[in-house]
Amino acid sequence: MRKAVGNNYPIDIRISAYEWIEDSISFEDVMYFLKKAEPYIDTVQISSGIDKIFEANVHCITTNLEEEMPNLKWAKQAKAELQIPVSVVSAVMTPAMADEIISKGYVDMVAFGRTLLADPYWPKKAMEGHPEDIVPCLRCSNCYHISSDHWNVGCSVNPRYHHQEFVPSEINLPKAETKNML
């Protein structure tokens, strides 16, 4: 990969700290691998579970019955033992939570998935200092293709997600030619 992309292109890998299946890899194995891989990569993102296996994907795409930031414990350990920047993914719900785990030195970065489906303007609202306007992800997994076998995918709080063809983004809407004053 390095040969293909050159020295100035970042290589990030995402890895499950634990797979949540029988005979899962152990976190010790993962750390052993990461220490071997470290010279060849620029950053690592700590996840868990496995996408394609039902009993494991609920740990990959956690519901609101699970704790928030379930992968942080592993990410902290990876950060303590590696030299490269470490990020964490999974249920970091608010800018305050992200700020806290970075400022405490637990991780270098935070990765977001469903949070950005629920509100694509999450980073802008955080950056501009009005997090109260963020539409929160419910962790309900309506958007997760595996939960409905690619049928009926959508977001419970963002009607545009996956349905842009009939709920167009406001930036694609033509401007009204006249104003209707009531």
Q: What is the smallest separation between the CB atom of 20 and ligand SF4, expressed in angstroms?
A: 19
- Residues making contact with ligand SF4 (CB under 6 A): 114, 117-118, 137-143, 155-157
Collapsing DSSP states into helix, strand and coil, what is residue 117? Answer: helix
| The two structure tokens encoding residue 17 | 């700290």
Q: What is the smallest separation between the CB atom of 96 and ligand SF4, expressed in angstroms?
A: 18
* Residue 158, amino acid: N
Q: What is the smallest separation between the CB atom of 167 and ligand SF4, expressed in angstroms?
A: 14
Rounded CA separation 123/71 (Å): 21
Q: What is the smallest separation between the CB atom of 103 and ligand SF4, expressed in angstroms?
A: 26
Closer Cβ to ligand SF4, 69 or 117, answer by number: 117
Closer Cβ to ligand SF4, 105 or 136, answer by number: 136
Rounded CA separation 43/55 (Å): 28
Closer Cβ to ligand SF4, 79 or 139, answer by number: 139
Closer Cβ to ligand SF4, 34 or 119, answer by number: 119
b/e code 116-144 from CB counts within 10 Å (16+ = b): ebbbeebeebbeeeeeeebeebebebbbb
* Residue 155, amino acid: C
